[in-house]
Amino acid sequence: MKIFELIMLVCFGLSWPISVYKSIRSGSTKGKSVFFIVAIIIGYISGITGKIVNGDTGYVLAAYGLNLTVVSMDLAMYFVNRHREKAELDGNKNETEALL
């Protein structure tokens, strides 16, 4: 039954907006795994592909798409935060070299 798949997607999907919010607020990659996020994205893409191949479009497919979008935002925030962290490290390194 599609309702159980939808419940699963909603339950999984509830955590991702919180994760994106924490990434934005913290500006850090601490506690994040890019490999885990990519694995989740591959899983959602596979689910979407399976739905399309079987001609099973509808609200469950929409839930997959919404989850994929939010997880992709989390992946984007990972790279934004990683870039920011590297820039801070480079800035601190330059300051330290200037003191020497």
Per-residue pLDDT tens over the stretch 30-56 = 989 999 999 999 999 999 999 999 998
Number of domains comprising the chain: 1
Q: What angle in degrees, to the nearest 10, is found between the helix axes of 59-99 and 34-53?
A: 160
- Any domain includes 25: yes
- Any domain includes 87: yes
Q: Are 67 and 13 in contact (CB under 8 A)?
A: yes
What pLDDT is recorded for position 2?
Answer: 84
- Any domain includes 9: no
| 81-92 exposure pattern, b = at least 16 Cβ within 10 A, e = fewer | beeeeeeeeeee
Q: Can you tell me the distance from the alpha carbon of 24 to that of 18, in angstroms, rounded to the nearest whole number?
A: 10
Mean pLDDT of 56-74: 93
Name the more confident of 84 and 97.
84
Q: Residue 62's domain is classified under what CATH number?
A: 1.20.1280
Q: Domain limits at 41?
A: 15-99
Q: Are 84 and 27 in contact (CB under 8 A)?
A: yes
